[in-house]
Structure 1
Amino acid sequence: MTIRIPSGNTTLLQSQVAEILVAPLAQESTFLAAGPQIFDTNDQLRIPRVASGVTAGFYGPGEQISDGNVSFDEVTLLPSTLKSLKVLTRYSSELARQSVVALDATLKTTVVTNVAETLDALLWDGPGTSNTIKGIFRQSGIATGTLDLTDADSLIDGMATAQGNHVKPTHWVMTAASFAKLRKLKVGTDDARYIFDPSTIQNGSAFQLFGLPVIITDNIPAVSTKNRVALVDFSKVAVARDLDAEVKILDQTWGDYDTVGIRVVTRYDVGLLQAKAVTVLTEA
């Protein structure tokens, strides 16, 4: 008589499914966490700014003072034509009841996260076509410079460009690959010491270069295979927020299918209070 054992009869064994759902690895949302100015409004937002001021001069007693004219313009965000970012997913009631995880809560979290990832990419580098978000790297009038990932002096030149425009950058923005190339720079061919001290380049869980925090994101993609690094003054970045990931559970819409829907809608816009607040360095 042969004794049946579990290893030879897997078909007869119960399976146990862990009551967790492992999410895919995804790009972290970084733009809003960097600290731009956020304005909550559901109407078009107009932010006035002084385009040019006046110049003072020296005058003697009784001399007529020349007139000076101050000119104004404005930054306009959330025009009525700007589209919203939306997503919709459906699942059957049977799946919800039979799932080993809390499916509705899990899907809500997943969908909101996916929308946040898309929004983050658009705020950085959105094309702005067909009434969509134009990211800060696509804004007109931003400063530019040359990047050389083999020479840290190009970063110093970028800082000089920003400072020459009277900008005080708050963050570096670059991909992980660009940051790694900079971290690997050595003092010389015969000196294996790193240019950037590893003990100071990472302050806790945050990275720094030349005293400024480094934002690591895939959302500053290369242009024509040429890598880019940016300097940004986030105090001069304005974000208009109409809806912040509004979640709706649609439990009646597809009642004839016994199906539940989750809809997430958000509507944002971004602009620069001063165009030179962004300096983009591109490889030659």
Structure 2
Amino acid sequence: MAIEVTSGNSTLIQSQVANLLVQPLEQASTFLAAGPVVLDSSQPVRVPRIVNGVTAGFVAEGAQISDGDVAFDEVTLLPSTLKSLKVLVKLSNELIRTAVIGLDAVLRTRLVTDVANALDAALWDGAGTSNTIKGILRQTGIQTGTLDLTDADSLIDGIAAAQGNKVNPTHWAMTSDSFAALRKLKIANPGETSDQDFRQYLFDPTGISGGTAFHLFGLPVIITDNIPKVSTKARVALVDFSKVVVARDVNAEVKILDQTWGDYDSVGIRVVSRWDTALLQAKAVTLLTEA
């Protein structure tokens, strides 16, 4: 007697598509979450700044006070030639009607996320070529230094360089690989052998201090892939985000184009975003690179 089983009768088995769509694994946008100064404008933005002030001195009674000159310049954002981030997806009305999930809503969310990821990468390390965003790591005049992922002193030297420039850094920024290398640093306990089994971590092995955020030397750590290696050399940035300005023209404008491809019975979903960034003070960024 033969018994009919499911493995031989797949055409008779009902199936159901789950009412969800699994998103890819990806990092969250980090730049805007760090708290830069955000200016809203649809026009080019000029931020005036004082390059240097005057030197005050002691003057005797009745003596002439010497003249002083104050130098000004400006930071320019959103030039008229700056390009926007844009993306467009077209899909048929049959697909929208027959999809198990709310496909148009899912795609709108997905496209906004994709634009946000591209924006995050540009704000950090955009090349600034061909009228695109020049990221803060590519800005002219930033402080540079040497990074040694085997020696925490290189981080202290970076902090000292920032403080020497009268900068109060607010965040570290680095890749997960760099952060892991620093967290693995160990030292011998006082009076004990230097054998590996008796060594302790230099930093809190959880990497967490004062809440749920990662910290190193008291400063929160931003984990991002948008500080890529240069010629296989890792980089770590020390940033004062109070001196970082972001100009926002269009946040993430979503348009449903239901007439453009009407002769194909299809619609388009378009997302447009336009931003720019600059440093109010160039030394607000200290970029450490492996030797």
* TM-score tier (shorter): over 0.9
- Cα deviation for residue 39 of structure 1 reads 0.2
Taking the aligned partners of 1:2 and 1:62, their CA distance within structure 2 comes to 119
1:62 partner amino acid: G
Structure 2 residue matching 1:276: 3-state secondary structure: helix
Moved more, 57-66 or 185-194: 185-194
> 2:246 & 2:218 partners in 1: Cα distance?
26
In 1, Cα distance between equivalents of 2:223 and 2:286: 16
TM-score, length-scaled by structure 1: 0.98
Residue 201 of structure 1 pairs with residue 208 of structure 2: yes
Q: Following TM superposition, by how much is the alpha carbon of 1:2 offset from its aligned partner in structure 2, in angstroms?
A: 3.1
Q: Which residue of 1 aligns with 2:39?
A: 39
After alignment, is 4-13 or 218-227 more displaced? Answer: 4-13
- Distance in 1 (CA, whole Å) between partners of 2:212 and 2:158 is 25
SS of residue in 1 equivalent to 2:177: helix
Cα displacement string for residues 1-49 of structure 1 (whole angstroms, at most 9, x for unaligned residues):
5332323211221211100000001121000000000000000000000
Alignment pair present for 1:212 and 2:219? yes
CA contact (8 A) 2:183 2:207 kept: no
- How far residue 256 of structure 1 moved from its aligned partner, in angstroms, is 0.7
CA separation in 2, counterparts of 1:69 and 1:185?
50
Question: Paired residue for 2:281?
Answer: 274
The TM-score normalised by the length of structure 2 is 0.95
Equivalent in 248, 261, 264 of residue 268 of structure 2: 261
- Note if 1:248 corresponds to 2:269: no
Q: Percent identity?
A: 71
Counterpart check, 1:226 vs 2:216: no
User: Distance in 1 between the 2:159 and 2:174 partners?
Assistant: 15
Question: How big is the shift at 1:161?
Answer: 0.2
Aligned ranges 1:172-187 → 2 under 5 Å: 172-187=172-187
Q: Offset at 1:205?
A: 2.9
1:149 paired residue number: 149
Root-mean-square deviation (Å): 1.1
Tell me the residue number matched to 2:191: none
Query: Which residue is 1:17 aligned to?
Result: 17
TM superposition shift of 1:237: 0.2
Give the 3-state SS of the residue equivalent to 1:127 in structure 2.
coil
Q: Which amino acid aligns with 1:207?
A: F
Amino acid at match of 2:90: R
Moved more, 65-74 or 181-190: 181-190
Query: How far did residue 202 of structure 1 move?
Result: 4.4
What residue is the counterpart of 2:109 in the other structure?
109
CA distance in structure 2 between the partners assigned to 1:104 and 1:200 by the alignment: 40
CA distance in 2: counterparts of 1:206 and 1:260, whole angstroms: 43
Deviations 1:127-159 (A, max 9, x none): 000000000000000000000000000000000
Counterpart-to-counterpart distance in 2, 1:199 and 1:149: 18
SS in 2 for 1:110: helix
Say which SS state the counterpart of residue 155 (structure 1) adopts.
helix
* C-alpha distance in structure 2 between counterparts of 1:118 and 1:103, whole Å: 22
1:199 to partner: Cα distance: 5.3
Distance across 1 between alignment mates of 2:24 and 2:4: 39
Larger CA deviation: 110-119 vs 7-16: 7-16
Gaps of 5+ in 1: none
1:95 and 2:95 correspond: yes
Contact residue 126 and residue 138 of structure 2 kept, 8 A: yes
Q: Does 1:50 align with 2:35?
A: no
Q: Any gaps of 5 or more consecutive residues in structure 2?
A: 189-193
Give the aligned length: 284
Q: Where in structure 2 are the equivalents of 1:116-135 lying within 5 Å?
A: 116-135=116-135
